[in-house]
Amino acid sequence: MANSMAFLEPDGAKFYTSAYPEKTYIHATAQRPVLAFDDTADEVCYWTLAAPQSYAPDMVAIVHCVTASDTNTGHDVIFRGELEAITPGVDAVDLDSAESFGSANNSAATAILGTAGYEFTVPITMTNDDGIAAGDLVRFRLTRYATSGSDTVVGDVYVLGVELREAA
């Protein structure tokens, strides 16, 4: 059974100065927070966490999402996940001026459900994990890869959160 490492919520997401998803709310009364990823440009956000002391390699990122309006079950969404793992006292990365993300991991094209607002998940196997180890300072970067040519969802895809878990 896979162990859950973290659940990354929309309210904890950080953004660069451009090309980022809008942080908004869906559901008029429940005010459910989401990240609204656009369909015309690659938008990026990230979270920072520490790898748990019990961490074992082989991670999967499970993106929990809904479509804003698209109901065409023939449409697919593509997400990209990247990891930056910094081992304190070992990795020579000047955090004031540099990043050191590993190579990107793309999800498979994942078909959306036939009803807007119904949750579906998009798994990303994190094969390229930047050498993450227990106790590392980790950043997880999520991109909707809208310009991939394989992402055909029309309109926003709302991300409810991302679960990082050890692969089964």
Number of residues in the chain: 168
At a CB cut-off of 8 Å and minimum separation 6, what does 40 contact? 146
CATH number assigned to the domain comprising residue 154: 2.60.120.260
When divided into structural domains, the chain yields a total of: 1
pLDDT of 41: 95
pLDDT of 1: 44
pLDDT of 2: 58
Half-sphere exposure of 134 toward its Cβ, with a 13 Å CA cutoff? 5
pLDDT of 45: 98
Q: What is the mean pLDDT of each run of 10 residues along the chain (168 residues)?
A: 80 94 84 94 96 83 95 95 91 86 93 92 94 92 96 96 88
Range of the domain at 66: 4-166
At a CB cut-off of 8 Å and minimum separation 6, what does 36 contact? 21, 22, 23, 24, 68, 156, 157, 158
CB atoms within 10 A of CB 75: 18
